[in-house]
């Protein structure tokens, strides 16, 4: 009887570990773009910004409301803290100053996705891609939203093919190619 309890305990521990690993994998893979607009080789959990960092940046913006660097940095802090609407507000102000910043526009789209405003996210990603024909991350995230949120397989395939043409490389390109292969193998 004791041996059976040990076996059950070991099996339960393995199951919990497996589930935690799957959850962590999903959690990390859902963070498509780092606030710099670049994919990171090894996903990491961004540090939650301190209240002091945020207050400092808010102070800078109070003194200089059009400080582009402070707007983007504060937007990125809010991005890391999953404060979607606050990040969008900062990115909107930054884009009013520099409307052609495809990294900021892509980060803003990711925040719209967090608010489940998928059509707005798609619009922003398409604009980022239009403004910068080599902007890989806008196309990559567009594919993710089209596939997972809009259920548009054809659109996702087109976005990821464009992403490869725009110059996706390394691990990101390998992931895209794998996804494309799987999507193209789906019954029509």
pLDDT digits (tens, 9 = 90+) for 35-87: 434 333 334 556 788 889 999 999 999 999 999 999 999 999 999 999 999 99
pLDDT at 84 (0 to 100)? 98
Q: Contact 80/35 with Cβ under 8 angstroms?
A: yes
pLDDT at 22 (0 to 100)? 39
pLDDT at 6 (0 to 100)? 45
Q: Give the global pTM.
A: 0.75
Tokens of 90: 């900062």
pLDDT at 98 (0 to 100)? 98
pLDDT at 42 (0 to 100)? 38
pLDDT at 46 (0 to 100)? 60
Q: What is the CA radius of gyration of the chain?
A: 20
Tokens of 39: 């994919």
- Spans in the chain with pLDDT lower than 50: 6, 9-43
**Buried residues in 87-104 as b, exposed as e (16+ CB within 10 A):** bbbbbebbbeeeeebbbb
pLDDT at 17 (0 to 100)? 47
């Amino acid at each position: 009887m004791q041996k059976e309890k040990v076996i059950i305990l070991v099996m339960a521990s393995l199951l919990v570990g497996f589930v935690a690993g799957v959850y962590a994998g999903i959690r990390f893979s859902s963070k498509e773009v780092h606030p710099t607009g670049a994919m990171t080789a090894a996903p990491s959990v961004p540090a939650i910004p301190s209240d002091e960092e945020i207050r400092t940046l808010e102070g800078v913006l109070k003194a200089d409301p059009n400080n582009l660097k402070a707007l983007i940095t504060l937007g990125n802090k809010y991005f890391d803290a999953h404060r979607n609407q606050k990040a969008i507000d900062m990115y909107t102000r930054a884009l009013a100053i520099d409307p052609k910043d495809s990294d900021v526009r892509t980060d803003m789209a990711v925040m719209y996705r967090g608010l489940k405003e998928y059509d707005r996210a798609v619009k922003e990603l398409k604009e980022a891609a239009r403004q910068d024909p080599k902007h890989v991350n806008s196309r990559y995230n567009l594919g993710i939203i089209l596939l997972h949120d809009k259920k548009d397989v054809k659109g996702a395939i087109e976005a990821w093919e464009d992403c490869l043409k725009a110059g996706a490389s390394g691990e990101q390109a390998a992931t895209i190619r794998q996804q494309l292969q799987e999507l193209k193998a789906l019954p029509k």
